[in-house]
Structure 1
Amino acid sequence: MRTYLWLFCFTFLLAPLFTLADIPETLLLTPSQQRYLAELIRTNPSAKTQWLKVEEEAKGYLNDAPRPLRVIHYEGLLDTDTRRIDTEKSLRDMDKLAAWLFAYYGPQDKLYAQKAKTYILAWAGTYEPTGNPINENKLEPLIHCYQTMKSYFSESEQKKVGYWLAQIAEAEISFPNMPENNWKTKQIKLVGTIGLILNREPYVVYAIEQSKGYIDKALYGDGTSRDLRQRDALSYHVSGLKPLMTLAITMDQLSENKYGLQTFNYQNPAGGSLRKSVDYVVPYALGEKTHAEWVNTKVELDRQRAAAGIAHYQPGTLYEPERSREMFELASYFAPSYQEVLRNLKNDGRNEFNSWFSVLVAAARE
């Protein structure tokens, strides 16, 4: 299997704040990158400013208790649905796990790891995987926490969490009629990340194959994507690109070989690529162009959300450039030239780091 994976990879490589419950974007860092991050916090005033916000938030959650769910009621439900509202209360656990992961990356304080462990075990003992990537993508902070803090788990606890994560990956792979849009990219990221964490090569192979297949089918030569053409919303275009970039970085972090830059630059026969689809957003991020969201959406749920009065989904709502910040921060891992776009977002070029996530990406590049 290892030979097959190497041969396939070699062939392949040649060839914001919405009304929904956003989960913080997280990144895995290697031990050496964590040490670099700690030094960056110590010596760089801009990084230190972002870190202090993280530390304050992480400490504020330490007396809380987990609120795990057996079922996540989220995808396909209006923001006003009581089931979704209750789910969002439980998904606050992921905010807390993200904060503890970020705080742990700094001083390696075991207090954060021990607290995160109680939450991870609670969710692993309660949540039943369904394979729905829109719902299960929200577990990303938990998955990254587990990989980073695995040494704090006993052998039996690791076996329990590992079995549960494998169930998630299997359910994702088996989910019927997976749409070739942001659903697919979230599924690919989940399966690939779990494969890397559990050292399950079939999952990694699946993610690599499906990444290439998605770029072939859903990213177009003019820089648009299937998400954009279906939803007429740059917000969905951006959300469909981020998971593949996050996975590519994770592959760089956890694999002997480097896949990230090749995945980012891979171009399908029609000229579509991750890089070109990121570039498509540049003039909107810089304010040179504007995009009226949802005007020609083909998705009934978008129309239902608009009819329910949800502000973000009103046809004609202008795309806000700031919503693309995390995408360009991820892209800057592969191409530092995107840092110029980041400096121009909201005309804030005074600080080297304008978000905690930008600090993480800087550490990941080392």
Structure 2
Amino acid sequence: MKTVWLAACALTSAATAAHAADYALLGPSFGKGPVTPALSEAVISRAMATPDRPPGAIPHAHTEGTLPGKGIREISLKAREDQPIVLNFAIAYRLTGDRRFLDAAGRYLENWADIYQFSFNPIDETGFDTLLMAYDLTEDDLPAPVRAKVDAFWRKMAVGYLDAIDAGPRNANTNWQSHRVKLATMAAFQTGDTAIIDRAREAYRRQIAANLLPDGSMFDFHERDALHYVTYNLDPLMMAALSARAHGLDWFGWKSPAGASLPHSLDWLAAYARGDKTHIEFANSKIQFDRDRAAAGQKEYAPHPWDVGNGVSTYSLASLLDARYLPLRDDLVKRTGKRPPVWTEIQRASQSPAR
């Protein structure tokens, strides 16, 4: 594999050319930093294992509120297998310039743009952030007809989610809204349309004010009695903040009039991530579906001690926004053996130190 990696790295990639301003999160510097051979080899090996795998887009995906064994749930989970695969193809292309990976990523992106019809259910569609990042890394080198299809797809996503957010109060202060904000924001930056980006910024600020509390906790923690839903809020909101940061904007440090902010909530969660505090998940959830899932055999929704490994991804994202979270991320990796998302490691090597 090392020989393959050395040969691949010798290729010149058109994808390292100056990237257009319309990208969701991963800009022109991605992959230009000192990526370790082991990390590069892992990405390339996975990409080489599935170069001819056909994409599996479906018109509608639905898992929210479903229990294991339901037909649409299983069909949707199968289709979701495309999401990490297409991002891996795109990263492999950015690292190597091998057009096999570009062609594969483009095939997947076009397939989803052609077939998928947005429901604007953010739990069902939250994984589209991987397709957005894959497009970041390949857009400049995809054929013009493919770009036109995919650009229209992202504009539809951005406007549709922002319209849904503005339309009414459904789940307006829960993790549902946090995932809507993530998807709307990333797609908005992909369009490069300042009016859409401004709408996304206002949606982000409203969610910080509605979901995060001045003491650092959040609405979902008190409703679900689970740190799982703390990270499930913080992660999408940080993805939105990372998109803004990639375009020179500081959304991360914004505070609501009441004093709520992402850093404050990350500091609140850190006491549990370090082990200073412990928590039994879902013991007093107010949501019947949590109990239904536990009864159906989903043990992660039955009362149990919070798995601190759940914090690895959260503090990986946080450390890209503020370097003071890097020691905690490293400690969580050491204690749990769980690895950060690959793209965050390459992004770290590619960007200037987090502020």
| Paired AA for residue 65 in structure 2 | G
Task: Give SS of 2:260's match.
Answer: coil
Q: Does 1:31 align with 2:28?
A: yes
Pick one of 289, 292, 300 that aligns with 2:280: 292
Corresponding residue number in structure 1 for 2:197: 204
Distance 2:127 2:340 in 1: 24
Spell out structure 1 runs of 4+ moving beyond 4 A.
none
Q: Does 1:365 align with 2:355?
A: no
Further displaced range: 140-149 or 218-227:
140-149
Cα pair distance change 1:304/1:349, threshold 3 Å: closer
Pick one of 106, 125, 133 that aligns with 1:136: 125
| Paired AA for residue 31 in structure 1 | P
- Using structure 2 for the length normalisation, give the TM-score: 0.85
Corresponding residue number in structure 1 for 2:311: 324
Contact 1:78 1:305 in 2 (8 A): yes
Corresponding residue number in structure 2 for 1:109: 98
| Paired AA for residue 258 in structure 2 | A
Corresponding residue number in structure 2 for 1:3: none
Cα pair distance change 1:290/1:346, threshold 3 Å: farther
Task: Give SS of 2:126's match.
Answer: helix
**Alignment RMSD, CA only?**
2.1
Pick one of 174, 177, 180 that aligns with 1:184: 177
Contact 2:252 2:263 in 1 (8 A): yes
| Paired AA for residue 107 in structure 2 | T
Cα pair distance change 1:183/1:302, threshold 3 Å: same
- Using structure 1 for the length normalisation, give the TM-score: 0.83
Distance 1:50 1:303 in 2: 40
Cα pair distance change 1:288/1:363, threshold 3 Å: same
Pick one of 87, 107, 111 that aligns with 1:98: 87
Cα pair distance change 1:326/1:292, threshold 3 Å: same
Distance 1:271 1:281 in 2: 16
**Deviation for aligned residue 1:269:** 2.6
Task: Give SS of 2:216's match.
Answer: coil
Corresponding residue number in structure 1 for 2:259: 271
Q: Does 1:154 align with 2:140?
A: no
Task: Give SS of 2:29's match.
Answer: helix
Corresponding residue number in structure 2 for 1:226: 219
Deviations 1:258-314 (A, max 9, x none): 223xx2222223221100111111122122221111111122221210111211111
Distance 2:306 2:131 in 1: 30
Cα pair distance change 1:158/1:361, threshold 3 Å: closer
Contact 2:29 2:350 in 1 (8 A): no
**Deviation for aligned residue 1:65:** 0.4
**Deviation for aligned residue 1:213:** 1.0
| Paired AA for residue 304 in structure 1 | D
Corresponding residue number in structure 2 for 1:11: none
Count of aligned positions: 324
Corresponding residue number in structure 2 for 1:216: 209
Distance 1:354 1:208 in 2: 27
| Paired AA for residue 363 in structure 1 | A
Distance 1:59 1:354 in 2: 22
**Deviation for aligned residue 1:343:** 2.4
Gapped regions of structure 1 (runs ≥ 5): 1-26, 42-46
Corresponding residue number in structure 2 for 1:5: none
Distance 1:306 1:166 in 2: 38
Q: Does 1:341 align with 2:328?
A: yes
Cα pair distance change 1:226/1:341, threshold 3 Å: same
Aligned-residue identity in percent: 26
Contact 1:28 1:148 in 2 (8 A): no
Distance 2:296 2:350 in 1: 41
**Deviation for aligned residue 1:174:** 3.2
Distance 2:94 2:116 in 1: 27
Deviations 1:89-128 (A, max 9, x none): 1110112112112222322322211101011111111111
Task: Give SS of 1:272's match.
Answer: coil
Pick one of 24, 32, 47 that aligns with 1:58: 47
Distance 2:147 2:333 in 1: 44
| Paired AA for residue 148 in structure 2 | K
Distance 2:260 2:81 in 1: 36
Distance 1:30 1:186 in 2: 22
Q: Does 1:259 align with 2:249?
A: yes
Cα pair distance change 1:79/1:279, threshold 3 Å: farther
